[in-house]
Amino acid sequence: MRRRRQRLPPLDYLIAFEAAARLGGFTAAAERLNLSQAAISRQVKLLEEHLGVRLFRRGHRSVQLTAEGKSFLRHVREALDAVEKGVEGLQEAARRPRVSLAATQSISTLWLMPRLPRLRRDHPDLDIHLVSTDLDREALASEHDLIILRGEGQWENFEAELLLDEEIFPVCAPAYADQKGLHLLEALRHCTFIEVASHHTEWMDWARWLTSSGLPETEGAASLTFNTYALAIQAAVDSLGVALGWRHLVDGHLAEGTLIRPLPNSICTTSGYFLLQPQDNPLSPASQSVRDWLFAEARTAEC
């Protein structure tokens, strides 16, 4: 490949040739390219020597393409058009506003991803950089314009607004509820509890949910544990057990019927998912548009 590239003529020669062919002469090409007529004539001559063929028949006041010149012109135009298109694409991308959004894996997978097509439709002029992480230090890195984290609303050096409140309740597949008779609380003892192993100590697990609900723990119950909430919810969809569902995060599954709430019991906490922004870094117009869009989506979800 390197040897093939070495056989290519300089780009200046190709530009001079294409301009002379398109405009019908060296003088017109020189005026268009802001060069002297002698410079254009010399670059075309050097190109012919490089290729070993004559590209133009030179007259007293005009030049005409040879058959070889006409054939070569098609390739040169295609190549220059491709380069020009690439340059325009890079320049356009550089001009497009970019918003970096970091969010927990659960929010990214279960709440943001289903909504991204609408975000792209509503804001086609924006480039979105989405980072999904359950590491707070990674989410709070300085390069992110907006951040969605679960907590109580207090993060040092960040302004936080409640985006999604927190209500937690059991969810499972319809077939699993029928199989276990999961319409009474007592039936929970015969179910497999789907858990999430989280390094966040405040994360609600089954033991805490049962205690907060005033229910006895089901000792000896089978369990399945996953390291991400999205996997736990998929396990529930696959009828592997009963999981704790966070409102907003499981609303899509509930609407589709892939998950149901077999019991009416639920717990509302003082935590929630907050939208953060650095205190000393005012939002750009693009980031403000995304922020407003996220809150509009959250309000729609509450309706």
Instruction: Say yes or no: 65 and 195 in one domain.
Output: no
pLDDT band at 91, cuts 50/70/90? Answer: low
Instruction: Say yes or no: 150 and 207 in one domain.
Output: yes
Give the residue from 95, 119, 137 where a domain finishes.
95
pLDDT for the residue 200: 67
CA 203 to CA 39: how far, in whole Å?
Answer: 73
Give the residue from 78, 95, 112 where a domain finishes.
95
Tell me the average pLDDT across 8-33. 90
Residue 1 confidence (pLDDT) above 50:
no
Write the DSSP symbol of residue 112: I
Condensed to tens digits (0 to 9), the pLDDT of residues 273-295 reads: 999 999 888 899 999 999 999 99
Percent of the chain clearing pLDDT 70 (strictly above): 93
Read off the CATH number of the domain in which 32 is found.
1.10.10.10
Give the residue from 62, 95, 128 where a domain finishes.
95
Instruction: Say yes or no: 121 and 262 in one domain.
Output: yes
Instruction: Say yes or no: 29 and 112 in one domain.
Output: no
Written in H, E and C, the secondary structure of 132-172 is ECCCHHHHCCCCCCEEEEEECCCCCCEEEEEEEEEEEEEEE
Helices (H), the chain: 2-6, 11-23, 26-33, 37-51, 67-95, 105-107, 116-122, 136-139, 174-180, 206-212, 229-237, 251-256, 285-302
CA dihedral sign, ordered 182, 188, 192, 195: positive
Instruction: Say yes or no: 140 and 45 in one domain.
Output: no
Read off the CATH number of the domain in which 254 is found.
3.40.190.290
Instruction: Say yes or no: 168 and 284 in one domain.
Output: yes
Number of structural domains found in the chain = 2
pLDDT for the residue 215: 74
Would you state the torsion angle of the CA atoms of residues 276, 227, 198, 105, taken in this order, to the nearest 10 degrees?
A: 10
Note down the domain range covering 39.
2-95
pLDDT for the residue 213: 80
Instruction: Say yes or no: 36 and 120 in one domain.
Output: no
Residue 103 confidence (pLDDT) above 80:
yes
Residue 271 confidence (pLDDT) above 80:
yes
pLDDT for the residue 244: 96
Instruction: Say yes or no: 125 and 170 in one domain.
Output: yes
Instruction: Say yes or no: 57 and 179 in one domain.
Output: no
Instruction: Say yes or no: 239 and 161 in one domain.
Output: yes
Residue 218 confidence (pLDDT) above 80:
no
Side chain identity at residue 201, one-letter code? T
Instruction: Say yes or no: 10 and 144 in one domain.
Output: no
CA 296 to CA 303: how far, in whole Å?
Answer: 11
pLDDT for the residue 173: 97
Percent of the chain clearing pLDDT 90 (strictly above): 63
Condensed to tens digits (0 to 9), the pLDDT of residues 228-241 reads: 999 999 999 999 99
Instruction: Say yes or no: 20 and 139 in one domain.
Output: no
The more confident residue out of 6 and 146 is 146
Condensed to tens digits (0 to 9), the pLDDT of residues 146-189 reads: 999 999 999 999 999 999 999 999 999 999 999 998 888 888 88
